[in-house]
């Protein structure tokens, strides 16, 4: 423990878990952006969000480790690893950990965080009484919060209303109800909230702080401001009797006491138990002879007030082993959701089990006669447009943001992709009906064959123009099965616009140019790559539905 920022109960577990959680927790399914995969928690605006108050201290505490190992470990990996180690120091066995996150070195410019100009504001719902009206692609329901306001929507305590927003927000972060309860409970089983003081005494956030603060923010030079006197969220107290032990204390507290709404020393809404046994109170972070009331947030109360959440909470309370397994899996998913398939994982602590949210794809065969297969595709009678469009549609779902989608797996032949309007189901069915038998005959995957067919189409178009070229090809893609495919999850990858094929599903507020640039950025294309691909697709007449807009050749 460091004197300049002492650890609660002599252990930084709670602080490091919060750092990992808030690093990973910005992930959203709509566009795959956010998450802990780039280490962007170090940069504006995230490093100065109110919900990340005092996590600058957590990163500074990790600096000696980063300095020691340098480029052998990224900041992105280190922040998530610190959370895992924090949990393990409290007796919890995590599901696993993968290295491999690559740091960025400047703020992200591609992520839309919302329309509000002020932190903690919420102007992102079409109807504030309807949590599901949250505007896409957003997931958090307030500006500058990771999830929801712990005091209640817009700071008004109402556990049932908060439950609606929790359900919507966590669903947009790829979590179901059981995972949501597990994460809430597991996150609040250790550590505490900090609000023993006046938040008005906190100085500017890191991006607004004076240079002499050396990159730190939220300094408190008026009062002691550390240890038991720390102010962070404004809520004050621990959730369990033993905050440095991963036990069933969270559910014990929720189900064994009645709770009443009170104000913290910082003036924030929180719930405290009525007539709690003295021995059930957590001890002070500095003096074990002092005990204080535990607390619950509005979000915690939602875990027993919402009927669905309550049923799950009761199940976890009665079966601690089941809860631990559910939380371990949910925590692993939270911290690895944006890392792509498991074959990208690195390290010695990797789970052996394939999980459906990893979009598993079996290993493919690369030992077949590529030239012979190309010849059969060329002689199949399929047109340039049919070959090129099918290959494009298979590949265009790729998102560099969370490494999902793309041609590997050939999921274009499975639900839901085979029925997407953007994939022209009738044309797709025809092309697959020709390519699948050719793939089987050659011993190639359908995924390889679709991509190779696109190459053949491009080579045919070049030849028709009087030139000749061989398009590079790397075999080895595998074919996923329907059982390996989470239909609901893949629905988020549906292209509702595609400027490269001159199509959009309906009219949108954003201009066509904006939509094109957003799609190109998600696919990881440079400006030059975007331009030549757009021109090439037009030149080959690969527009959606055969429309001729923009086809000048």
- The span from the first CA to the last CA of the chain, in angstroms, equals 70
Chain center to CA of 288: 38
CA distance 510 to 493: 18
Cβ neighbours for 531, distance < 8 A, ≥ 6 positions apart: none
- DSSP 8-state class, residue 497: E
Q: At what angle do helices 249-256 and 177-188 cross, to 10 degrees?
A: 100
- DSSP 8-state class, residue 20: H
CA distance 445 to 435: 10
Q: Which position among 22, 125, 165, 544 bears the catalytic label?
A: 22
CA atoms within a 13 Å half-sphere pointing along the CA-CB vector of 172: 25
Decide if 15 contacts 57 (C-beta within 8 A): yes
CA distance 198 to 200: 5
**Structure tokens of 446?**
């359908």
Helices (H) and strands (E) in the chain, counts: 16, 6
Report the run of H or E that residue 388 belongs to, with start and end: helix 384-395
Q: Residue 45: is the preceding peptide bond cis (ω within 30°)?
A: yes
Query: Strand 503-504 vs strand 497-498: parallel, antiparallel, or unpaired?
Result: antiparallel
**Nearest 5°: phi and psi at 454?**
-60, -40
Short-list 143, 155, 125, CA closest to 45: 143
**Nearest 5°: phi and psi at 260?**
-125, 150
How distant, in Å, are the alpha carbons of 22, 376, 430, 477, 515 from that of 439?
45, 10, 15, 12, 35
**Structure tokens of 398?**
């790729």
Decide if 189 contacts 247 (C-beta within 8 A): yes
Number of Cβ within 10 Å of residue 421's Cβ equals: 14
Decide if 476 contacts 468 (C-beta within 8 A): no
CA atoms within a 13 Å half-sphere pointing along the CA-CB vector of 147: 29
Decide if 415 contacts 352 (C-beta within 8 A): no
Short-list 378, 543, 371, 373, CA closest to 463: 378
State the burial class of residue 348 (Cβ atoms within 10 Å of its Cβ: 0-12, 13-18, 19+): exposed
What's the length of the chain?
553
Is residue 22 annotated as a catalytic residue, yes or no? yes
Active site (catalytic) residues:
22
């Amino acid at each position: 423990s460091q004197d300049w920022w002492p650890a609660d109960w002599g252990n930084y577990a709670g602080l490091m878990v919060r750092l990992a959680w808030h690093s990973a927790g910005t992930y959203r399914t709509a566009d795959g952006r956010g998450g802990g995969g780039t280490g962007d928690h170090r940069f504006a605006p995230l490093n100065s969000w109110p919900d990340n108050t005092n996590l600058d201290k957590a990163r500074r505490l990790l600096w000696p480790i980063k300095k020691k190992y340098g480029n052998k470990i990224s900041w992105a990996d280190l922040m998530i690893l610190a959370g895992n180690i924090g949990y393990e120091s409290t007796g919890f066995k995590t599901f696993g950990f993968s290295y491999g996150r690559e740091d960025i070195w400047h703020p992200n410019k591609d992520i839309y965080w919302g329309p509000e100009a002020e932190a903690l504001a919420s102007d992102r719902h079409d109807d504030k009484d309807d949590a599901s009206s949250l505007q896409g692609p957003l997931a958090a329901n307030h500006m500058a919060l990771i999830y929801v306001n712990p005091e209640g929507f817009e700071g008004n305590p109402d556990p049932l209303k908060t439950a609606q927003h929790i359900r919507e927000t966590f669903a947009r972060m790829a979590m179901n109800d059981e995972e949501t309860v597990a994460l809430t409970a597991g996150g609040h089983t250790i550590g505490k909230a900090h609000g023993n003081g006046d938040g008005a005494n906190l100085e500017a956030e890191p991006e607004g702080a004076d240079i002499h603060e050396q990159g730190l923010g939220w300094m408190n030079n008026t009062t002691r401001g550390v240890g038991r006197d720390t102010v962070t969220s404004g809520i004050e107290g621990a959730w369990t009797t033993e905050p440095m032990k991963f036990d069933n204390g969270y559910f014990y507290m929720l189900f064994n006491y009645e709770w009443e709404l009170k104000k913290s020393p910082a003036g924030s809404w929180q719930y405290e138990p009525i007539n709690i046994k003295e021995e059930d109170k957590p001890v002070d972070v500095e003096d074990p002879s002092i005990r204080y009331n535990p607390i619950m947030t509005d979000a915690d109360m939602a875990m027993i007030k919402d009927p669905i959440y309550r049923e799950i909470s009761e199940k976890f309370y009665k079966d601690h082993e089941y809860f631990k397994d559910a939380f371990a899996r949910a925590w692993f998913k939270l911290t690895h959701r944006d890392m792509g398939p498991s074959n990208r994982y690195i390290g010695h602590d990797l789970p052996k089990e394939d999980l459906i949210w990893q979009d598993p794809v079996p290993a493919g065969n690369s030992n077949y006669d590529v030239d012979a297969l190309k010849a059969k595709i060329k002689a199949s009678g399929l047109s340039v447009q049919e070959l090129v469009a099918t290959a494009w549609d298979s590949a265009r779902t790729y998102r560099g943001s969370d490494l999902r989608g793309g041609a590997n797996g050939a999921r274009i032949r499975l639900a839901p992709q085979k029925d997407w309007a953007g994939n022209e189901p009738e044309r797709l069915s025809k092309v697959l009906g020709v390519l699948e038998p050719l793939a089987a005959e050659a011993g190639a995957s359908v995924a390889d064959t679709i991509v190779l067919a696109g190459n053949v189409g491009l080579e045919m178009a070049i030849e028709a123009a009087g030139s000749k070229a061989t398009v590079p090809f790397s075999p080895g893609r595998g074919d996923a099965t329907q059982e390996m495919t989470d239909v609901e999850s893949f629905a988020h990858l549906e292209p509702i616009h595609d400027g490269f094929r001159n199509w959009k599903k309906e009219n949108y507020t954003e201009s066509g140019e904006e939509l094109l640039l957003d799609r190109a950025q998600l696919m990881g294309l440079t400006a030059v790559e975007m331009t030549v691909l757009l021109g090439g697709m037009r030149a080959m007449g690969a527009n959606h539905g055969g429309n001729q807009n923009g086809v000048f050749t």
